[in-house]
Amino acid sequence: MRRRLAPLAAAGIAVLALAACTAGTEDAPRLGAKPSGAASALPAATIELWHGFSADHEVKAFEDAVAGFRKKFPQITVKLVKAVEDDKIIQAVRAGQPPDVASSFSTDNVAQFCKTGMFQDLNPVIAQDGVDIGVLPQVVQNYTQFEGKRCVMPLLADAYGLYYNKKLMKGHEPPKTLSELTRLAKELTVRDSEGNIEVAGFMPSTQYYEHSISHLGTMVGGKWYNPDGTSAIGSDPAWKQLLTWQKELIDWYGHDKLEKFRKGLGQEWSADNPFHVGKVAMAIDGEWRNAMIALDAKDLDYGTAPVPVADDKPQLYGGGFISGTIIGIPRGAKNPQAAWELVKYLTTDTDGLVTLSNALRNVPTTKASLASPALKKDANFQTALDVFAHPASFSLPAHINSVYNQEAFAEFVVKWESGAVTDLDAGLAEVDKTINDKLKLAGG
């Protein structure tokens, strides 16, 4: 299950400081040539893997996946540490006390991880071991490297789609275009006698859980950056197209009434999630929602489909936003060679990836694991697999200011939604300036 962007902002900022010298890591062993021969040639070692998963079934999934590695490398003792976020990893590296392996929920920090050397470049050992990066779909290859350095590998992926409540849909097929989404959102919305929203057909607010501007951007094919790393938000007409559509639907609901409804909804990660309890008919969410519905809303009759797209861009339909969990070897790791064997196993071994996917219901990230007959599939999870494989699917390009840039855009969109901004062109141009000024400060 994915964690939201906001808590990672501090991590994205803190990582800037890592360009400075890090205590205690100058003499630490680094990835390089390893003993040749069988796996048993690797010396005995104890390695520690930090990951962010915390629920009991998630922790068990990691233990089950690592079991295959322990069988292959009995001389390597693996200690798993749960519920670790990026800020703790960063602090540990700065203090010269990093784990051997660390996993992160945030692809937004990959550029900083690679640029500052916080995570070691894996290219030399990838080449040495003959690991074929081509087994990874291109979208995954893109978000695990920056400026030629592949400092992390993909562990599992997230693919976003449209969830719809079949009972509330009243026999309608899921929308494929924005105009169809608008029509259905209005038709399925239920209000009380005072016009207050009781059931929303669709929540156009970017403050609604997974309806962030980055996730909605795939509806129109919005471009984030120019080739030189500067912001393309103001110059790409797709963003104006999206925000114009969004504001028209918000105005139909009434911004104040929509906000009142949103603030009264249940928590995203609880059994009271509004989609679970029939307060929202259609919602954009990640593939993990299938597992949460199975746990918390077993009787919910629902379906999944790709997100709707702009009427004039039918070629985008079938794609969606892609992100994922990443894993690598921090600078200063005490046992980098053993750590690499674990990273390689968890990210390329078909059985290990399928074990994790079946337990966590995230998308496995190699072509072999996607095609494995052991991968549990049903119609709703298949949508995520199809979105992941679609050529129109999109992941945010790695950028040294990725978290800041998304937040700058998101803050503007909130003002736009409320009506505090009326000149969309000028507002988007100001977003560009804000992002580009930050890029200059970062030396971009």
pLDDT tens track for 331-342: 999 999 999 999
Contacts of 419 (CB under 8 A, 6+ apart): 255
pLDDT tens track for 278-305: 999 999 999 999 999 999 999 999 999 9
pLDDT tens track for 46-91: 999 999 988 888 899 889 999 999 999 999 999 999 999 999 999 9
pLDDT in the model for residue 41: 74
The domains located in the chain, with CATH, are: 6-158+322-389 (3.40.190.10), 159-316 (3.40.190.10)
Residue 379 has pLDDT above 50, yes or no: yes
Residue 88: phi, psi to the nearest 5? -70, -40
Classify residue 135 by its DSSP letter.
G
Residue 4 has pLDDT above 70, yes or no: no
Q: Is 322 left (phi over 0), alpha (psi -120 to 50) or beta?
A: beta
pLDDT tens track for 29-43: 667 655 544 455 789
Beta-ladder partners of 322: 159
Cα atoms in the Cβ-side hemisphere of radius 13 Å centred on 326 = 27
Dihedral sign for Cα atoms in the order 350, 355, 52, 216: positive
Residue 178 has pLDDT above 80, yes or no: yes
Longest CA pairwise span in the chain (Å): 76
Share of the chain above pLDDT 70, in %: 91
